[in-house]
């Protein structure tokens, strides 16, 4: 019949789409897979496993002084070397770090990074000011990217790379997001921007289009005033490649680099892993002495009466002996794991210590953990 399309294949062909066999071919604008032909190929693609994949747009953000511009270089160095970082695999890839803010000082920090973690190939630094709102400078940067072919690009900071950006305006922020993603297009790189956090709130500063457009967001929280040089806590707000919530902690060390013309010592900070291990694996890793102590206390708690057998939701209907978070917190308190708080409850530091140690024991395969329950594995 005139105008009648006789089959689904013909209908798809009429709009420029193709039905692909098991592997799609570049024919037509769209490629269509049958449900039973969907594959797992994309799941195996990563830069930092469970954190960052090729083509991602990610954000590391936090308050001034939290260490976000220390974490970025540490991740860059780990990927360039291809070493495990925070218990996660990385692929050995090319990395470009664009220090649009305080570039000269970042170069000195890179020297400190090299002293602390060793030399690596394929890690490059641009330490010049840049204006990605200027089409000529954007083209010049893309030309460098096309030449270097990096797999991972850091932009530090977003505000410095887009001077004059009206962060709270949807139109301006949308253009900045598009420009960041475009940086990765010549080589299919992931792009990680360093950004600021508002004085209050758990999301990045500026219009919500930025947070919504990112595949991964990592918030860096500085230690409290009682421990200014203590661990920095990193939390995933979004993570398309793995779980959200608490991710890891890192510390800061000052590296001595020699003396200046006046004879004064040159020092610069670098980020370091906390409880770093030589040969980490996702499950069954060696515990630190501190973690072994917490696990012994937890094991003692499970030998006491008063715990319940629960059907743990994440394990279906399997019954396990479980403790509530409240029971665990009280058990650690009576065993002297926390500081005395004259006002009752836990101090902010103790809450972080409890959370960090429980998360570490979970990540090392020693315990199971939900928002409400704890159990031994």
Q: Is 117 left (phi over 0), alpha (psi -120 to 50) or beta?
A: alpha
**SS3 state at 72:** helix
Q: How far is CA 56 from the centre of its chain?
A: 11
Residues in contact with 240: Cβ distance below 8 Å, sequence separation at least 6, in sequence order: 53, 56, 215, 216
Cβ(354)–Cβ(297) under 8 Å? Answer: no
Q: How far is CA 17 from the centre of its chain?
A: 37
Q: Using CA atoms, how far apart are residues 308 and 197, in angstroms rounded to an integer?
A: 42
pTM here is 0.67
Residues in contact with 334: Cβ distance below 8 Å, sequence separation at least 6, in sequence order: none
Q: Using CA atoms, how far apart are residues 225 and 333, in angstroms rounded to an integer?
A: 23
Name all domains of the chain by residue range, CATH numbers in brackets.
8-39 (no CATH), 57-273 (3.40.50.300), 289-376 (no CATH)
Rg of the chain (C-alpha set)? 25
Q: Which residues pair with 326 in a beta bridge?
A: none
Cβ(327)–Cβ(307) under 8 Å? Answer: yes
User: Could you give the C-alpha distances from 227 to 40, 218, 224, 248, in angstroms and in order?
Assistant: 45, 22, 6, 18
The sign of the torsion formed by the CA atoms of 277, 70, 294, 375 equals: negative
- 130 token code pair: 């840049």
**SS3 state at 81:** helix
**SS3 state at 339:** coil
Residue 288: per-residue pLDDT: 82
- Tens-level pLDDT at each residue, the chain (377 residues): 454 545 545 544 555 555 444 444 545 778 888 888 887 766 668 999 999 999 999 999 999 989 999 999 999 999 999 999 988 899 999 999 999 999 999 999 999 999 999 999 999 999 999 999 999 999 999 999 999 999 999 999 999 999 999 999 999 999 999 999 999 998 999 999 999 998 876 789 999 999 999 999 999 998 766 566 678 889 999 999 988 887 788 988 899 999 999 999 999 999 998 754 333 334 445 778 888 888 888 888 888 776 666 655 544 445 678 888 888 888 888 888 887 665 667 787 888 888 888 888 887 778 887 767 888 87
User: Peptide bond before 321: cis, by omega within 30 degrees of 0?
Assistant: no
Q: How far is CA 201 from the centre of its chain?
A: 19
- 208 token code pair: 């919500």
Angle between helical axes of 170-184 and 135-148 (0-180°, round to 10)? 30
**85, 88, 89, 91 alpha-carbon torsion, rounded to 10°:** -60
DSSP conformation class of 314? G
Bridging pattern class, strands 123-126 and 152-156:
unpaired
Cβ(63)–Cβ(195) under 8 Å? Answer: no
Cα distance between the two ends of the chain: 67
User: Could you give the C-alpha distances from 301 to 41, 289, 308, 341, 346, in angstroms and in order?
Assistant: 44, 19, 12, 22, 19
């Amino acid at each position: 019949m005139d105008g009648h399309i006789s089959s689904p294949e013909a209908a798809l062909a009429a709009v420029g789409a193709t039905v692909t066999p098991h592997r799609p071919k570049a024919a037509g604008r769209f490629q269509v897979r049958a449900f039973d032909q969907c594959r797992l190929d994309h799941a195996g693609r990563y830069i930092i496993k469970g954190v960052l994949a090729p083509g991602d747009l990610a954000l590391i953000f936090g308050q001034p002084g939290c260490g976000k511009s220390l974490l970025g270089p540490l991740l860059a160095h780990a990927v360039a070397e291809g070493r495990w970082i925070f218990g996660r695999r990385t692929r050995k890839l090319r990395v470009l770090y664009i220090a649009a803010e305080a570039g000269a000082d970042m170069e000195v920090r890179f020297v400190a990074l090299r002293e602390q973690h060793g030399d690596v190939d394929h890690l490059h630094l641009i330490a010049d000011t840049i204006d990605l709102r200027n089409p000529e400078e954007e083209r010049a940067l893309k030309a460098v990217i096309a030449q270097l072919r990096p797999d991972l690009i850091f932009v530090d900071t977003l505000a410095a790379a887009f001077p004059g950006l009206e962060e709270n305006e949807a139109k301006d922020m949308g253009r900045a997001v598009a420009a960041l993603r475009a940086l990765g297009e010549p080589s299919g790189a992931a792009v990680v921007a360093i950004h600021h956090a508002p004085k209050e709130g758990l999301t990045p500063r500026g219009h919500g289009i930025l947070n919504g457009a990112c595949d991964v967001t990592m918030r860096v929280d500085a230690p409290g005033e009682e421990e200014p040089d203590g661990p920095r806590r990193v939390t995933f707000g979004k993570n398309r490649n793995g779980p959200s919530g608490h991710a890891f902690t890192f510390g800061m060390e000052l590296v001595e680099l020699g003396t200046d013309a006046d004879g004064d010592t040159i020092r610069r900070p670098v980020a370091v892993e906390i409880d770093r291990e030589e040969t980490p694996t996702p499950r069954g890793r060696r515990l630190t002495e501190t973690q072994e102590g917490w696990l012994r206390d937890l094991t003692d708690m499970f030998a006491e009466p008063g715990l319940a057998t629960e059907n743990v939701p994440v394990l279906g209907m399997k019954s396990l002996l479980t403790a509530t978070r409240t029971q665990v917190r009280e058990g650690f308190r009576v065993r002297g794991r926390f500081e005395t708080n004259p006002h009752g409850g836990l101090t902010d530091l103790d809450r972080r210590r409890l959370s960090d140690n429980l998360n570490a024991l979970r990540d090392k395969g020693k315990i199971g953990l939900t928002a409400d329950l704890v159990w031994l594995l």
